[in-house]
Structure 1
């Protein structure tokens, strides 16, 4: 076991993002009070590794080294130093050992964030789905495991998490390209529509890029339809309400991205969307 601190640098890495930047509630009051500290530990770890990958000051090699160190702390093979990022991995390790949730729900995230750190290019829809398999789907599987639900919920949960991740990429496509030099819009879709990354730097969506967005949203609609099957698989009533609300939000955000322009300004959920989600949650109580 090593306690060297060189890999961590001299400061915590933070993007300034928080739960309010997500499309779904984190540690919602709908979840059991007893489980919320574990959800918060998982979210804190996920936020740290996301911030590392999104850092504008670290080099790609430094990012990967720090992500590797986080994984070693998680597995107990590296001593965590007194830093918020390292301690988040230590706290999640304790939580996973207490709850019995598989460590893969945490380590799989690192696969995606290493790709982000290296500047991986997404050539096709399948490339993007593969990324979401590691960047998003483990979150749903973590919550399913934490609530001791069955594996039967995995397929619908994966569809929901992938949908939410892709919707988030579409919301942030201009900012990701400008700030991080990162593009999650599949290049083959843009090429087939006669457009490219330069059009993502415009102040409004071109007709060609709108075709790309609509094609992506058509496929997201398919994912949302698969996600509809999640709620009946969930036995815990409070978690079932949470899932119903999030499925509703995925449908609502998909609709907003069809009607609004993500290049003209961030397309975000509104109060009326929250009301629809609340109604869906109440229906799931039964």
Structure 2
């Protein structure tokens, strides 16, 4: 998310590149952001469990959705109570419930789907796994519908960047590959190539194709700070856009097969400093 980022992604709440509980969010709204983050983390952990079966994952996700949307009695478990807390938050703020239930749609898919044939198919997954996070923040801050396309572009960018960062570990731990299979077939690459010590020339070409798409998304996302009215959220969104650009560049220059590519402290400092012009 861009604020989850990495509820972000969205992927929603693990290995965050951009912390959800950012100090840039107003103190009044932080409890609601935290409630959303806690819920997203729980359902993400369910979907990414290495011990639950697909059926068990879906049953638990359905249970979380029932508590969130139907106000049914919640079992006495801390993870389920995150759904009740978010239910109360949504009632208080008027944020649409689909900003959470769309995440559940994505995580149900994660429970049973481990491969993506095309970039279009992957982008459709991001529509549910990442974009709702940005829409949650926009709705929480009472931003207008004109901000949604740029937010969706940013969230999809962050999700794909996270897929590239975790391309090897996702395959090892969860047998998931988000790299489109048609690109692999076109460049004579197989999924198992992600398990090598370093990326092959052909796999590197595929990464760059995906990063070209990410660059286009980040370009579209540049409109988000300009369109956002809340000053704190405007600054937050600007920082995240810059961080997405820095991470995309790092993924061009470094090898996510050889090791997880991360942002540096310098990237964060530069992103914040460049963004302060949006706080005026």
Aligned residue pairs, count = 270
Q: Does 1:205 align with 2:192?
A: no
Deviation at 1:82, TM superposition (A): 1.4
Contact 2:12 2:129 in 1 (8 A): no
Q: Secondary structure at the match of 2:25?
A: coil
CA contact (8 A) 2:12 2:40 kept: no
CA deviations 1:191-235 (Å, max 9, x no partner) are: 101101110000100001001000000111000000001011101
1:221 aligns with 2:211: no
- Comparing 152-161 and 111-120, the one that deviates more: 111-120
> Quick check: 2:250–2:261 contact (8 Å CA) kept in 1?
yes
CA shift for structure 1 position 78: 2.5
Q: Which residue of 2 aligns with 1:241?
A: 235
What aligned pairs does 1:1-286 form with structure 2 within 5 A after superposition?
Answer: 21-286=15-280
Question: Match of 1:21, SS?
Answer: coil
- For residues 109-165 of structure 1, the C-alpha deviation after alignment (integer angstroms, 9 at most, x for no partner) is 011100100124210000100000000000000000000000100000000000000
Computing the radius of gyration from Cα coordinates, the structure with the larger value is 1
Q: Within 2, Cα distance between the matches of 1:154 and 1:200? A: 34
Structure 1 stretches of 4+ moved >3 Å: 17-20
Return 5+ residue gaps in structure 2 as ranges: 1-10
The Cα RMSD (Å) is 1.3
Per the normalisation by structure 1, the TM-score is 0.92
Distance 1:202 1:120, change over 3 A: closer
Change (3 A) 1:122 1:20: closer
Specify which structure has the bigger relative contact order, considering alpha-carbon pairs within 8 angstroms and separated by 6 or more residues.
Answer: 2
CA distance in 2, matches of 1:115, 1:280: 38
Cα drift, residue 19 of structure 1: 6.4
- 1:157-179 deviation per Cα after TM superposition (whole angstroms, max 9, x unaligned): 00000000000000000000000
1:250 shift after superposition? 0.3
Contact 2:71 2:84 (C-alpha < 8 Å) held by counterparts: no
Aligned-partner Cα distance in 2 for 1:152–1:280: 24
